[in-house]
Each structure stands twice: as structure tokens, then as C-alpha cells.
Amino acid sequence: MPVFKTPFNGYSVKFSPFYENRLAVATAQNFGILGNGRVHVLSLPPSPGAPVAEIAAYDTADAVYDIAWSESHDSILVAAVADGSVKVYDSNLPPASNPLRSLHEHSREVHSVDYNPTRRDSFLTASWDDSVKLWTVDRPASIRTFKEHAYCVYAAAWNPRHADVFASASGDCTVRVWDVREPGSTMIIPAHDFEVLYTDWNKYDDCILATASVDKTIRVWDVRSFRVPVTVLNGHSYAVRKVKFSPHRGSLMVSCSYDMAVCLWDYMVEDALIGRYDHHTEFAVGVDMSVLVEGLLASTGWDELVYVWQHGTDPRAP
């Protein structure tokens, strides 16, 4: 299975929605505490033994915490940078012409960026300044700002079916559901007793969302009855950093955690943990499931490695 060594600590990895063999990696120097950042655009080789090719790499002054591919343009990516800026890159242009845009409105680190998969024209950024902002690539200023959380917002995720609905996960221990047409949040879910680090919607049931928290659990919620979670998934021994629903199977999820493991879950089954990968030797901080290739997983972590493997295989196998 191909492995790519990044010079900096990995923070996030995303498959391209246009090319099966392409992915982007967000990395940060010095674990993201203080240092530069780099965005890598990688291309998987035709055979697993061949090395991963780097199509492009962009250096940033500060750490890059997250990366997202445009859903409407095959070569555009958006990076969430720790200095509060949002940078737009075009991997078809030479490095000297990049970045295309640098949008600076957040007053603190931008922790997450998510592109709208249904409208394809807008994206959200979640920041430690307690707000979420809505942008389009062609406008220099944000369209909306959603400020209600009492603490850092760690993630924002679009609903896969309703183009105007999204959820945000925050360090104030709540998850809020928003509608961009409404001025404030439409629902407040007190999801955990500790910080909620990530949230994602079920692609096949638009009322289900999952949350990953510092309390080591992943909880699955139904917005129609949000007082009690649908299920609580235990299995990680440290904070869960990300959880993502599969684009192909309705109840399948992948998660990565500070216990260095990437786990696969099926929350509809009694014994929900159906796979565990311990290939990382430091915190596993980024994970993604390919939309174009069923079962293809990618992960990255503070051990400066990016793994891409098919579910069921060993990520470290040559």
C-alpha cells in the first residue's frame, strides 16, 4: 500500500471528488503549535508498490489544519490556515501563481473547511474565534457569519441532502444544526460532556449525524429526537479526532483518534467496531473515505505519514 512521508506533521487528508487517485494533505510544522504549513496534492500510483507522486505542494506561513476540494472545479482546493486565513489554490496553475486567494476574516485559527456537496458553490469554515463563516470562491468576503457557540468551533459539516443545512461541533460541548436561511441555529444538541471535535452527517439518512469527542466516544444522533443518542460507540482509548460516514454504506463510519488508531464502525450492529488499524505511530489526526472508490481509506497523523489502503488490507503492507 502506498505511503507518503510529509516533512511536517499531518493534520488532514481528503480524496478528490473528481479523480480517484488524487488526494490532498494538510500538514503543519512542529505539530501545529508554531511553525509553517504545507499543502500537498498527491497522486496515487497505478501499482501499489510504486511511490506516491506529489503533483504540487504549497507552503504557508502558518500551520494548515484542514483542506477541502472544490466540488465544482476539479483542481481547486481550499485550505484552513492557523493564522486565520482561508487560502484557495489551483493545482493546475504553477506554484508561482498560487494561492489564488487569501481570505482573511477570522480572528483566530481556522480549524476546518467543508465544501457543499449539493450546491457545489459554497464552503464553510469553522474557527477558534467561535464562529462559522460561509463563503464562495469567487467572492472576496464571506457571505454569512454564524456566531453562537461559546467556544472554539472545531468542525462544520454540510448535510448531504439538504443544501442549506449544516452542523457545527464546538468546544462548548454542543453541536448546533443551522440553516443558512435562518439567522441563528435551529437546533442545539448537548452532545457530550466534553469538547466535541468533529461531526459528520449520515449520507444515506439525512437526519443522522455522528459526533466525535474528547471523551473518547463517538455518538450517533437523530435530529428528530436529539435528547438521547441513537448509540454511543466506545473503543478508542483517547480523544476521537474525526469521524466520517461512508459515502457508500449507510451505517459505516471511520474514525481516527489520539490513540493512534483508525477504526471502522457500523453503528446499526450490536458489536459496532468492525475494523481497527494501528498503523500510525503518533496521533492519527486525519482520515477520509473516498467518494469515488468504495472502501478506499486514507489517513494521516503526527508521525508525518499518509497511508492509503483498501478496507480489509494492511495499510503497511508493501
Partner 1 sequence: MATPSTDVKTQNPATAEPTNEADQTAAAEPTKPASLPSVFVNSEPIRPEQVENAVKFLSHPKVRGSPVMYRRSFLEKKGLTKEEIDEAFLRVPDSSPTVQAATINQDAQTKTVSNAQTQAPVQAQQPAAAAPAGVISRTISQPRFHWSHAIYAIGILAVSGAGTAVIFKNAVVPRLKSWIRKIASEDENGVAQKTDSKPSVAEEAAAAAKAAADAAAQVAKVSQEMMNTNIEEKRYFRNLTDMLDVQLREMRAMSFSIRKLEEQNNMGALPSYNQDYRVSSSKQQPYANGKAEFDSLSGRSSSPPAPAEPSVPPHPKSYMEIMAMVQRGEKPPNVKDIDDSPPNPHQPISNSRVDPRSKPWQSGQAPNSSGPYQLNGDSDQGNGDPSIPWWQRKNVRITEVENEEDSKVGQYYSSGAPEQPARSSWVPPQPPPIAMAEAAEAIRRPKPAVQKEQQSSDDQSVAEPSDELQRITKISETGGAALNTTNGIASETSPSEIQEEQEQNY
Cα–Cα distance for residue pair 315/167, rounded to 1 Å: 31
* Cell digits of residue 161: 441532502
- In whole angstroms, give the CA distance from residue 36 to residue 34: 7
Interface with partner 1, residue 74, by CB under 8 A: yes
Q: Nearer to partner 1 by C-beta: 112 or 247?
A: 247
Residues near 207 by Cβ (< 8 Å), separated by ≥ 6? 222, 223, 224
Dist CA 207 CA 248 (whole Å): 17
Give the Cα separation of 108 and 113 in Å (integer): 14
- CB closer to partner 1, 12 vs 15: 15
- Count residues contacting partner 1 (CB under 8 A)? 116
Residue 80 contacts partner 1 per CB under 8 A: no
Least distance from partner 1 to the Cβ atom of residue 111, Å: 18
Q: Can residue 317 be called a binding residue for partner 1 (CB under 8 A)?
A: no
Count of alpha carbons within 13 angstroms of residue 276, beta-carbon side: 11
Which residue type occupies 286?
Answer: G
Residues 83 and 120 sit within 8 Å (Cβ to Cβ): no
Cell of residue 264, nine digits: 471502522
The verdict on 118 binding partner 1 (CB under 8 A) reads yes
Shortest separation between residue 106's beta carbon and partner 1, angstroms: 16
Q: Which of 12, 27, 60, 127 binds partner 1 (CB under 8 A)?
A: 60
Residue 107 makes contact with partner 1 by CB under 8 A:
no
Among 108, 144, 249, 316, binds partner 1 (CB under 8 A): 249
Residue 143 binds partner 1, judged by CB under 8 A: no
**Hunting for cell 467556544 — which residue is that?**
151
Residues 154-193 that bind partner 1 (CB under 8 A): 159-165, 172-174, 177, 179, 181, 184-188, 190, 193
Q: Does 313 bind partner 1 (CB under 8 A)?
A: yes
Nearer to partner 1 (CB atom), residue 56 or residue 252: 252
Q: How far apart are CA 269 and CA 221, in angstroms?
A: 15
Q: Smaller CB distance to partner 1: residue 126 or 180?
A: 180
**Cis ω before 190 (30° cut-off from 0):** no
**Do residues 62 and 37 lie in contact, with contact meaning Cβ atoms separated by under 8 Å?**
yes
Identify which of residues 12 and 215 has a Cβ nearer to partner 1 in the complex. 215
> Which listed residue (52, 53, 57, 117) binds partner 1 by CB under 8 A?
117
Instruction: Please report how close the Cβ of residue 112 comes to partner 1 at its closest, in angstroms.
Output: 19
Residues in 119-138 that interact with partner 1 by CB under 8 A: 120, 137-138
Strand partners, 232: 219
Binding residue (CB under 8 A) for partner 1 from 52, 57, 102, 316: 102
Applying CB under 8 A, among 66, 129, 200, 215 the residue interacting with partner 1 is 215
**Residue 219 makes contact with partner 1 by CB under 8 A:** no
Q: Which three cell numbers stand for residue 130?
A: 467561535
261 binds partner 1 (CB under 8 A): no
Residue 76 touches partner 1, criterion: CB under 8 A: yes
Residue 282 binds partner 1, judged by CB under 8 A: yes
- 262 closest CA partner among 205, 230, 221, 308: 308
Report DSSP state, residue 12: E
Of residues 227-246, which lie at the interface with partner 1 (CB under 8 A)?
227, 237-239
Q: Alpha carbon of 217 to those of 12, 114, 233, 241, 293: distances in Å?
A: 20, 23, 6, 10, 28
